[in-house]
Structure 1
Amino acid sequence: MVSNGSDRPVIGITSYVERARWGVWDREAALLPTGYVRAVHRAGGLPVLLPVLPDSADDAVSAVDGLIIAGGPDLDPAGYGQTPHSLLGATSPERDDWESRLLRAALAAGTPVLGVCRGAQVLNVALGGTLRQHLPDLVEHAGHQPAPAEFGRTRVRLAPGSRVAAVLGAQVEVPCYHHQALAEIGRDLVVTGRAEDGTPEAVELPGRFAIGVQWHPEEDRTDDRLFAALVAAAEEEGA
């Protein structure tokens, strides 16, 4: 494990770069919903925020025992060879680039990875996959993202024998907030969870801890199993 004066493995979590207000300030900030931080800490990890940087992905990965690619804005479709859909949301190409470099560095180093919502999409695109830019065009409902700032609930069936099923069981109901979804699946990734409407909700790289989930486990304060599994994998990798 990374030496930090603690028995807790260090879990790096990617962050937003947004204009924000606190106290008397209104400035650009590196920020993250505290659900991620609290979930990692409850699971036994030491959470650290990874801001968007122009370089240093290898250094960042070498400083952590595990990596979470957090949720956030839509990916820029230029990154997977498509033109923007009319309902594409705000994008952050700098964050896309940073997280892709972090992910590749983590995979090369054998660092355990958990991609959350956008993070699952980053994992897929980094491995050559594509996204469906507006999921309701396919499934003809908005249940995965009912309204702005309103999480939906999705029942996900998990593939027997998969790593995510070993953690969560055969089926799980989860909080979700996404209008995009995985389309063409990236190289070596396996779809290991689907919603009832067929939407890919979990992917993983066989033989290692590299999981992407389209839902938001940090919003379910009674179920930290995915974070605990990441922390356990980080401990094992660093032992």
Structure 2
Amino acid sequence: MKSTTSALLNRIEFPVLLAGLLIAAGLWGFVELMELARAATPHAFDTEILLAFRHAGQPDNPIGPLWLQGAMRDITSLGSTSVLVLVTTATIIYLLLIRRPAAALLMFVAVAGGKVLSILLKFEVDRPRPELVSHLVNETSLSFPSGHAMLSAITYLTLGSLAARFLPDRTTRIFVLGLAVLTTVLVGISRVYLGVHWPSDVLAGWCAGFAWAMLCWLAARLLQRRKVLADSE
């Protein structure tokens, strides 16, 4: 029995094991946050963090200089549907031009599937936007999970993982993936600063986004191993 377990562990590659752990952690985190979002009243965790981005006793007055508000609006646009569609389309066209149809398919499935999943989750939880502080941008959709946080995680992590495959050394790959994570984090923070999401909305978006991106990566890896998809076309 011990030898069988050891043989199985030896066959499992570390990146695959790590991806599986990230998926499990993301799903667990999302379920926990979903329970918090369905509560009748906002949790102290949400209200305290949201108010921390406003001057004490002034929910309409965000902290920081005026230029910070503009910067946060610029950063949040990196997770908007229009920008992500543009980035995704440009990436897919480039991958097709360099004859990487499998990678192009992965990018499309990850982002398009993530968008559909985000919409379904919003309607399932049906959480309104926070009214505790003023909104610095106009939003009309439901609040949970944050679509900006979720889709930026999916898009930029998938793009980063694809780019890393073509880079020559480990340091550069780590830099690219780190940049993808940083962009995702900044987009999420901007949503809370702008007052259009509870912090738990953003955390749930990150959890779902990371889990979905890793699931798509695992599926593509499995299909490639079985030669259903190939990178060499």
TM interval, shorter chain, is under 0.3
Structure 2 length as normaliser, TM-score? 0.26
Structure 1 length as normaliser, TM-score? 0.25
Larger RCO (CA within 8 A; separation ≥ 6)? 2
Q: Answer 1 or 2: which has greater strand percent.
A: 1
